[in-house]
């Protein structure tokens, strides 16, 4: 069976990581032949070239150039996929003429977030509604996302992200990580994410500064890059800059997470609702409790009070309270970390995700 995957780019992001993981998972299925089309040349995940999948770049230059529809049609007619699986709202729209003309089932995988109060004027919501009639099934990585985008009951399907445990083999030693970033405190708190409007690093930083005034043995890490990075750096006074470290983009994120005592995901719910966050799965895989903003798919990943804590949006006070509770209670922290790892193994394993996708592909061939 031939499956053609379509995605706008392979920049550093959750859906892109999920596609990479699926390609890895499909290597265990010799009857599945994958092809990948990327509609730009932005490739962050260079590892895609080491996997057993042909990668074709069909750049949209300019973005509204209609020739891309024909180029996709021509490629598909020659390669003859049994199924087309789109991974974003625009790649779904681009696939519709081809799948309709050639009679190829379209698996629509565009639902990856769960915004509150979506407007019909939101471009992703509009594209989603436009594509539903042409989609055999619409996949979201959270039930909250499927609800937010008002996916028809008969077509919606939730498939959670799958984590590849091989990613946490052969990690750099904790000693080397601490030496590299000059971390001398006993405890470490970290947040992984992009410095963009969707993430609320500002609340995280304010909570950290509040905690540093009372806890003298904690270092805070902020891992990632983005347009708001410099603004966020200015929030940290000079006397705390050794205790609040901005690492920038790190290829070996898992090695940094391994030194965390607690992982944080602070979300700006005014503009974004999380699907299933890959950052949270990284924390869980490494047995770390998570303190995260309530809402969207985060509430499906975290069991409040068991694998971590959910906190109110924009609430520095709530975040400080929950972090203090976890950092000062070793028994609770260990218990939550074990529960988080167990939950990940139950719901968010790569084998489970891959099997669900393969079953879905076969249903429509």
Instruction: Classify residue 330 as exposed, middle or buried by CB count within 10 Å of its CB (0-12, 13-18, 19+).
Output: exposed
| Rounded CA separation 39/42 (Å) | 9
- The answer to whether the 2-162+349-363 and 166-347 domains have the same CATH topology is yes
The CATH class, in words, for 166-347 is alpha beta
Given a cut of 90, whether residue 118 has pLDDT beyond it is no
User: What are the tens digits of pLDDT across the range 126-177?
Assistant: 999 999 999 999 999 999 999 999 999 999 999 999 999 999 999 999 999 9
Q: Under a CB-based contact definition with an 8 Å cutoff, are residues 338 and 287 in contact?
A: yes
Average pLDDT over residues 302-316: 98
Average pLDDT over residues 186-208: 97
Average pLDDT over residues 281-297: 98
Q: Does domain 2-162+349-363 have CATH number 3.40.50.1100?
A: no
pTM of the complete model: 0.94
Query: Which of the two residues, 337 and 251, has the higher pLDDT score?
Result: 337
Given a cut of 90, whether residue 65 has pLDDT beyond it is no
Give Cα separations from 216 to 26, 277, 304 (angstroms).
47, 30, 27
Given a cut of 90, whether residue 204 has pLDDT beyond it is yes
Task: Please give the pLDDT value at position 119.
Answer: 85
Task: Write down the domain spans for the chain.
Answer: 2-162+349-363, 166-347
Helix/strand/coil for 171: coil
């Amino acid at each position: 069976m031939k499956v053609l995957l379509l995605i706008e780019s392979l920049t550093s992001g959750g859906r892109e990581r999920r596609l990479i993981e699926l390609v890895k998972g499909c290597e265990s299925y010799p009857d599945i032949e994958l092809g990948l089309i990327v509609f730009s040349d932005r490739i962050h995940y260079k590892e895609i070239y080491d996997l057993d999948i042909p990668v074709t770049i069909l750049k949209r230059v300019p973005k509204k150039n209609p020739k891309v529809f024909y180029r996709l049609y021509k490629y598909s007619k020659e390669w003859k996929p049994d199924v087309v699986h789109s991974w974003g709202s625009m790649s779904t729209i681009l696939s519709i003429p081809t799948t309709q003309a050639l009679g190829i089932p379209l698996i629509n995988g565009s639902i990856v977030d769960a915004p509150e109060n979506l407007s019909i004027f939101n471009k992703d919501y509009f594209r989603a509604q436009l594509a539903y009639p042409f989609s055999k099934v619409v996949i979201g990585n959270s039930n909250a996302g499927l609800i937010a985008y008002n996916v028809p009951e008969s077509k919606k399907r939730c498939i959670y992200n799958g984590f590849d445990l091989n990613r946490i083999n052969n990690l750099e030693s904790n000693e080397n990580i601490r030496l590299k970033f000059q971390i001398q405190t006993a405890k470490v708190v970290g947040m992984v994410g992009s410095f963009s409007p969707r993430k609320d690093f500002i609340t995280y930083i304010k909570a950290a500064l509040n905690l540093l005034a009372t806890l003298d043995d904690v270092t805070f890490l902020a891992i990632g890059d983005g347009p708001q990075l410099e603004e966020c750096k200015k929030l940290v006074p000079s006397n705390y800059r050794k205790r609040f470290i901005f690492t920038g983009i790190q290829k070996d994120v898992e090695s940094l997470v391994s030194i965390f005592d607690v992982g944080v995901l602070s979300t700006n719910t005014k503009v974004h609702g999380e699907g299933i966050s890959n950052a949270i799965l990284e924390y869980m895989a490494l047995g770390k409790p998570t303190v995260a903003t309530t809402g969207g798919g985060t509430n499906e990943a975290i069991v409040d009070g068991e694998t971590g804590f959910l906190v109110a949006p924009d609430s520095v006070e709530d975040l400080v309270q929950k972090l203090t509770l976890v950092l000062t209670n070793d028994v609770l922290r260990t218990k939550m970390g074990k529960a988080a790892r167990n939950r990940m193994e139950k719901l968010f394993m790569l084998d489970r995700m891959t099997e669900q996708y393969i079953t879905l592909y076969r249903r429509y061939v």
